Amino acid sequence: MIDSDGGVAPCLLPSGFRTAGVACGIKDDPTTLDLALFVADGPVAAAGVFTANRVCGAPVKVSRERVPGEDVRAVVINSGNANACTGARGIADAKTMTEVVAREIDCDPEAVLVCSTGVIGHYLPLELITSGIPRVASSLSDSPEAFHAAARAMMTP
């Protein structure tokens, strides 16, 4: 959101939600934010709108199975790699992301949704992402700065 001075206006999350964004090295510039996490302090109802295209990324396939749902706790998002056209390995990688998040926030992996955006047809750099998840989880906050970091982390260059 742009304020009247042309800068980014502060955004506040609803009570009970926290977010963060970190750089984990997916993008060419290792200092560019590329991993975001949104967490609800308790289970929340969630729905989703997904592509109708028969060709879709692994995160779409994984998240589509989990919503609508009443017990969602988190959404993990990476940018720089879409994890699309990656077959069974892509699905396994997307599920691994949800499992690592679940361990960090103490919930069931089925309560975590996953999104990816970026280059199509490349496998995720899973080691970078799984090492980034504890860092993004430890950075969770309800501050406007955390919200803006998460927003930047999910942007495709």
The H or E element spanning position 38 is strand 35-46
pLDDT, one tens digit per residue, over 66-92 is: 999 999 999 999 999 999 999 999 999
Show me where the domains of the chain are located: 17-153
- Residue 2: pLDDT band by 50, 70, 90 thresholds? very low
User: Cα–Cα distances in Å, from 31 out to 26, 28, 34, 42, 156?
Assistant: 10, 9, 9, 32, 14
Fold topology of 17-153: L-amino peptidase D-ALA esterase/amidase (3.60.70)
pLDDT, one tens digit per residue, over 88-145 is: 999 999 999 999 999 999 999 999 999 999 999 999 999 999 999 999 999 999 999 9
